[in-house]
Amino acid sequence: MDTHFFKIGQIVNTFGIKGELKIYLHTDFPDERFKKGNQIFIGSENHPNQQSAKIQSAKPYKNLYLVKLEGYDNINQVEKYKGLYMWISKEQQHDLEEGEFYFHQIIGCKVYSTDGEEIGTVTEILSPGANDVWVVKDATSKKEILIPYVELIVKEVNVNEKKIIIEPIEGLLS
């Protein structure tokens, strides 16, 4: 059995007294990931499958998601999950369209300019609105550079080689 798990959200708090959880999303597919009846796993960074559960309901709430798990009807039952993550197994992922990537495929990729200069490594992905923004830690100074995932800038993504080529616009790297 494949033991690869992928983070879909972090449980940041409880909501109300009926067992709902506030989830900070780590997925571009919340409607699919948190669909009623789907199985998820709850666990820490090092132990993603400490507990399995099924989704009873889910809905957007501000910049988070509210998720209710089957069989958890009281705040006291879910309080212990604060700070943990929600995961799915590798088998639960679906194929993506060309030019679409899962976060875990992009995080860890080396970023280079079209001139071949190494810029840094993608350490995080932000989803503030219209497009994702990749947080790239500079290889030498360790400062963070924000790279919007737009066609104008991102020219090539090779997840197999963990390599991304960008064409920096003026002011992007400074």
Say if residue 86 is in the same domain as residue 111: no
CB of 7 closer than 8 Å to CB of 48: yes
Say if residue 44 is in the same domain as residue 63: yes
Domain range for residue 60? 5-92
Residue type, 136: V
CB of 56 closer than 8 Å to CB of 39: no
Say if residue 85 is in the same domain as residue 15: yes
Say if residue 75 is in the same domain as residue 16: yes
HEC string for 30-56: HHHHCCCCCEEEEECCCCCCCEEEEEE
User: What is the domain count for the chain?
Assistant: 2
For residue 54, give the CATH number of its domain: 2.40.30.60
Chain segment 91-142, per-residue pLDDT in tens: 888 777 887 888 888 999 999 999 999 999 999 888 777 788 999 998 777 8
Say if residue 39 is in the same domain as residue 86: yes
Say if residue 121 is in the same domain as residue 48: no
Say if residue 52 is in the same domain as residue 124: no
173: in domain: no
- Residue 171: alpha-carbon gap to chain centroid: 27
Higher local confidence (pLDDT), 100 or 157: 157
174: in domain: no
pLDDT at 40: 95
The residue among 61, 92, 123 that closes a domain is 92
Say if residue 18 is in the same domain as residue 38: yes
Chain segment 24-47, per-residue pLDDT in tens: 988 878 888 999 999 999 999 888
Say if residue 81 is in the same domain as residue 144: no
Strands 85-89 and 64-69: unpaired
For residue 134, give the CATH number of its domain: 2.30.30.240
The residue among 46, 66, 92 that closes a domain is 92
- Residue 173: alpha-carbon gap to chain centroid: 24
70: in domain: yes
Q: Whole-angstrom Cα distance, residue 155 to residue 45? A: 32
Threshold 0.85, pTM exceeds: no
